[in-house]
Structure 1
Amino acid sequence: MCGVDLDAYVAEHDAEWRRLEQLSRGRKLSVSEADELVALYQRAATHLSVVRSRSPDPALVARLSRLVLSARAAITGGTGVSWREVGRFFTAGFPLAVYRALPWCTGAALAFTAVTGFLMWWVSGHPESAAAFIGEDAARELVESEFAGYYSEFMPATFAFHLWTHNAWLAAQCLAAGVLIVPVLWLLWNNALNIGVVGGVMLSYDRGDLFFGLILPHGLLELTGIYVAAGVGLRIGWAWIAPGPHRSRGRAVADAGRSGMLVAVGLIGLFAVAGLIEAFVTPSPLPAVFRVGIGAAVWLAFLTYVVVLGRKASKQSKASLTS
Structure 2
Amino acid sequence: MELDVFAAAHRSDWERLERLVRRRRKLTGPEVDELVELYQKASTHLSVVRSAGEDPALVGWLSGLVARARSAVTGAHTPAWRDFTRFFTRTFPAVVYRLRWWWIWSTVGSLAFATVLAVWVINDPRVMAALGPPDYIRQIVEHEFANYYVESPGASFAAQVWTNNAWVAAQAIVFGAFLGLPVLYVLAMNSANLGVMGGIMFAHGKGDIFLGLILPHGLLELTAVFVAAGVGLKLGWTVISPGHRPRLRALGEEARPAIAVALGLIVVLFISGLIEGLVTGWVHTTWLRIGIGVVAEVLFLAYVFTLGRKAYLEGETGDIEERPAAVPVAG
1:204 and 2:216 equivalent? no
Correspondence for 1:46: 58
Which residue of 2 is the match for residue 272 of structure 1? 270
Instruction: Provide the residue aligned with 1:256 in structure 2.
Output: 254
For the structure 1 residues 7 and 211, does the alpha-carbon distance in structure 2 shift closer, same or farther, using more than 3 Å as the test?
closer
Structure 2 counterpart of 1:54 = none
Alignment of 1:179-258 (within 5 A): 179-180=177-178, 181-245=180-244, 247-258=245-256
> Matched residues in 2 for 1:65 and 1:216: separation?
45
Q: May I ask how many residue pairs the two structures share in their alignment?
A: 283
1:107 aligns with 2:119: no
5+ residue gaps in structure 1?
25-35, 51-63
TM, length-normalised to structure 2: 0.77
Match of 1:70 in 2: 69
What is the percent sequence identity of the aligned residues? 39
Give the distance between the partners of 2:167 and 2:218, measured in 1 at CA.
Answer: 17
Q: Alpha carbons of 1:161 and 1:7: their partners in 2 closer, same or farther (altered >3 Å)?
A: closer
Letter in 1 for 2:234: R
Aligned residue in 1 for 2:313: 315
Give 2:34's aligned residue: none
Counterpart for residue 162 of structure 1 = 160
> Matched residues in 1 for 2:237 and 2:71: separation?
29
Q: CA deviation at 1:20?
A: 6.8
TM-score of the two chains, using structure 1 as the length reference: 0.79
Note if contact 1:96-1:310 (Cα within 8 Å) is conserved in structure 2.
Answer: yes
1:87 to 70, 85, 88: 85
Q: Which runs of 5+ in 2 are unaligned?
A: 15-38, 326-331
Is the alpha carbon distance of 1:170 and 1:19 closer, same or farther for their aligned partners in structure 2, counting shifts above 3 Å? farther
Q: Is the 8 A contact 2:116 2:195 kept in 1?
A: yes
The amino acid across from 2:58 in the alignment is T
Q: How far did 1:133 drift?
A: 2.1
Which amino acid in structure 2 is aligned with residue 216 of structure 1? L
Contact preservation (8 Å) 1:45, 1:68: no
How far apart in 2 are the matches of 1:175 and 1:296? 25
**Is the 2:170–2:228 Cα contact (8 Å) retained in structure 1?**
yes
2:25 corresponds to which residue?
none
| Counterpart residue number, 1:61 | none
Give the letter for the 2:271 counterpart: V
1:48 Cα shift?
Answer: 8.6
- Which amino acid in 1 is paired with 2:238? A
- 1:148 is matched with which residue? 146
Q: Supply the RMSD in Å over aligned alpha carbons.
A: 3.3
Match of 2:302 among 293, 301, 304: 304
What is residue 5 of structure 2 aligned with on the other side?
Answer: 5
What is the CA distance between 1:131 and its match in structure 2? 2.0
8 A contact 1:240–1:249 mirrored in 2: yes
1:128 has 2:132 as partner: no
| Contact kept in structure 2, 1:95 and 1:305, CA below 8 Å | yes
TM-fit CA distance, 1:236: 0.6
